């Protein structure tokens, strides 16, 4: 049995626990996408990864995803946003940090539910959204 099958209902976990898992999921997706795009030096990979896995960028992704979420996903991302984390981001506003927590909460929940296709759909929206801003 896979470890994510041991959790019957991830929705019963605290939003901060879901965000803890979601942070790792989102970071892994970003790192994987960067490596698949091109063979780069590790320092460049780290720089590009850090630019995408930060509260400011994740807050933009939060708003980018809102129109594509189901009612349940919308409730969950807002539950994560409304959680009260114990620390704050150094380079982001409190609002950006809360939005990022909401995004991570959603990704953690979907991961623990085994919804890998949905994770990729939403991640692709986040990833491809940056090309609209250039």
Q: Could you list the active site residues? A: 23
Q: From the CB of residue 42, how many other CB atoms can be counted at a distance below 10 Å?
A: 7
User: What string of DSSP letters covers 6-28?
Assistant: S-S-GGGS-HHHHHHHHHHHHHH
Burial label for 63, CB within 10 Å (0-12, 13-18, 19+), is exposed
């Amino acid at each position: 049995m896979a470890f994510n099958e041991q959790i019957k209902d991830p929705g019963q976990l605290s939003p901060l626990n879901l965000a803890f898992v979601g942070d790792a999921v989102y970071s892994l997706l970003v790192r994987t996408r960067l490596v698949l795009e091109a063979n780069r030096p590790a320092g460049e990979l780290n720089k590009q990864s850090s630019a995408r896995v930060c509260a400011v960028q994740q807050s933009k992704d939060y708003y980018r995803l809102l129109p594509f979420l189901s009612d349940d996903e919308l409730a969950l991302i807002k539950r994560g946003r409304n959680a009260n984390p114990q620390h704050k981001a150094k380079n982001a506003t409190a609002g950006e940090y809360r939005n990022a927590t909401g995004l991570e909460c959603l990704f953690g929940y979907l991961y623990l539910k085994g919804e890998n296709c949905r994770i990729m759909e939403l991640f692709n929206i986040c990833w491809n959204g940056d090309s609209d801003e250039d």
